[in-house]
Amino acid sequence: MAVKKPAQKKKPAAKTLVIVESPAKAKTIEKYLGSGYVVKASMGHLIDLPKSRIAINIDNGFQPEYITVRGRAKLLKELQGDAKKSKEVLLASDNDREGEAIAWHLRNSISAKNDVPIHRIVFNEITPQAIKDAVRHPMDIDESKVNAQKARRVLDRLVGYNLSPLLWKKVKNGLSAGRVQSVALRLICEREAEVENFIPEEYWTLDAEFHKGRHNFTSQLVLYRGEKPELANEKSVLAIIEEIRHSDCIVTDIKTSEKTIRPKAPFTTSKLQQMAANRLGFTSKKTMQIAQQLYEGINIGSTRVGLITYMRTDSVRISTVALEEVRKWIGEKFPAELPPEAIEYSVEKKAQDAHEAIRPTYVNYTPEYVKEYLTRDQLRLYTIIWERFVSSQMANARSRTSSIDIAAGEAVFRISSTRVFEKGFYKVLKTLISKEEKEHTLPEISVGETLEVRDFQPEQHFTQGPARYTDASIVKTLEEKGIGRPSTYAPIISVLLERYYITRSNKQLVPTQLGRIINEILVEYFPSVVNVNFTARIEGDLDEVEEDRIEWPSMIGTFYGPFKDRVDEVMNNLGSLKGRLDESTEYVCEVCGKPMLKKLGRFGFFLACSGFPECRNTRSIPLAKCPRPGCGGEIVARRTKGRGKEFYGCTKYPECDFISHFKPINATCPKCGHFLVEKFDKKNGSFKSCINPECDYLHTSDEVPDTSQDTDGEE
């Protein structure tokens, strides 16, 4: 009798391994692909240049010497093991230069251990259809895109690892200089110089309040003796008032004009960061973090959905499928606002156009529909993205402006009103209220009518100087000048803040003393490195590498030779500037009695004992006397725990709990003697205000009153 062999266990079928960059993205994609796939995250770069040395073989065509990133060897080994058990590996890192480089390193590392088939897949949105389409159409890694990333990485390493030791030796240990960040720093420092050198000039305006029936309305003087009035001082305004006070006020002209207002293109990365900064008060970094969350996937009920397309793009292109979907939605909800044909927006020549514009993945997921599933900030950002995209394919709006001229002697006053009479694309812009929508009702008036003047209202003003850069305006400038790319705008600002080369004050970017010194050195001794046009040309060269038009080693070689010669020359000939950062003061160390020095640290200036290292006593620099009666303490800069946000408090805390969130300046109030603080709002711009809540002193001019206190330097 034959013995029956036991049934062997069936070996489970091998699966396809998909490697993405982040766990959130992995979670979303795994739900879309089903049981035949395993999705793992690389957590960004696993292979990169070491931090401890330059790691560029200059004599061998500038080849980089890559290593496994410290702390990532275990993850890399796990991915190699997962690949060995798989029938295929699909590399699904982001569809940009950095993502291509990540895929390239993963392919090389995995193929060195086994011969599993490895392919690249790319997608612009994380939706079931997009992911499945990408899986059905795998491709090879784009070597030219990898070379562009390699060239940028090598170039930045050569600049940083040559300039940083120079700064350590000549200025202060621990400093660093980056290629693109240094250009941004120069722009911010130059703007600060313009702000400081600006001298405000006085000028006046003159309004007249007219009356007809139940209506009172105010109009502004626009012509005097046939010309635009130049009202330099109060005397000139009062002279006009005296001249026309008893003149008849007659309506001389009524004009009406119409204007077509076209919708704007969907967002690019730069435009999204600008809008989020201006409308929502977001930093560029915060905007990109939230956009990443919306892109990688949000749980909408039981379904996980990537709500927006890829958020790093400089193109306004929209796919045919997305255009058909949005036009169908507009036709159902706002049929009167659907243009006969889809609206096309021109793509700038310098745009990479690898991605679409930033748009919602499903137009049916309106902000109202997804509201309950999103955080407040996620909803606010998603809303402006959704509205901008939908409105971009809607009909134009039309506005009508009416203006009335009223003559009083040789003076002409004018009042205007604008009304949107065809809303068009404005019908979906619930959060983006345009100035064209503001309406002012004018009374029914005819030419030749005589009006009663109730009052003349002269008002003093001062010309406003150039505004400091904000996140929005620096990103706009970088984009216009061709500096950086969509993926670098937010990191540029973050790096400058982290290095304490700039600070944020009232959402404005202000260079620190350290930042100014670094900028002075770079501008004087390395003008080409921080030259805006040169940096833009480098970006163009990197694009040429990506398009396989030039070889990256030759591009690097053209730059490096003259640059390295200049570094060596400055290192040998420039004297130390460290003395500029240490200043003597009248303060005495309360520990050992030696003089205290004003020194520059990670978060600005502070006092340190000149007896260092024997005495390590330090303390904050007093900025002002405490305003609390009888306290006798001094106001110093402090930082909150956790986020490290700066505020100003008394040195006698906790006995005295006085704090201010506004920075004291080196001046006292001419009214009450308390110290002044610097504030900012949209109406007045930067201005000085008294810290005393019972004092109403306000100084809107950039000229600080000459009431200096005897204090030592800035914070």
Residue 613: asked if its preceding bond is cis (omega within 30°), the reply is: yes
Query: CB–CB of 158/558 below 8 Å?
Result: no
Strand partners, 511: 502
Number of neighbours of residue 210 by Cβ within 10 angstroms: 24
Contacts from 109-112 at CB under 8 Å and sequence distance 24+? 109/46, 109/47, 109/76, 109/79, 109/80, 110/79, 110/80, 110/83
C-alpha to C-alpha distance for 101 and 153, rounded to whole angstroms = 11
**What is the distance, to the nearest Å, from the Cα of residue 112 to the centroid of all Cα atoms in its chain?**
41
Tokens 């960061």 -> residue = 273
C-alpha to C-alpha distance for 698 and 687, rounded to whole angstroms = 7
Residue 629: asked if its preceding bond is cis (omega within 30°), the reply is: no
Amino acid of residue 396: N
Report in angstroms the alpha-carbon separations of 594 from 581, 587, 598: 19, 9, 13
C-alpha to C-alpha distance for 681 and 230, rounded to whole angstroms = 27
C-alpha to C-alpha distance for 651 and 10, rounded to whole angstroms = 75
Which of 434, 408, 410 shows the shortest CA–CA distance to 423?
434
Report in angstroms the alpha-carbon separations of 450 from 207, 247, 407, 457: 17, 11, 9, 20
- Catalytic machinery residues: 310
Tokens 């980089």 -> residue = 64
Sign of the dihedral defined by the CA atoms of residues 619, 625, 628, 630, in that order: positive
The string of DSSP codes covering 269-306 is: HHHHHHHIIIII---HHHHHHHHHHHHH-EEETTEEE-
Query: CB–CB of 648/654 below 8 Å?
Result: no
Which of 499, 46, 458, 449 shows the shortest CA–CA distance to 241?
458
Kindly give the residue spans of alpha helices, DSSP state H, lying in 374-488: 376-391, 471-480
C-alpha to C-alpha distance for 671 and 694, rounded to whole angstroms = 11
C-alpha to C-alpha distance for 41 and 20, rounded to whole angstroms = 5
Sequence length of the chain is 715
C-alpha to C-alpha distance for 412 and 403, rounded to whole angstroms = 12
Query: CB–CB of 291/282 below 8 Å?
Result: no
Tokens of 20: 């993405």
Which of 100, 97, 105 shows the shortest CA–CA distance to 72?
105
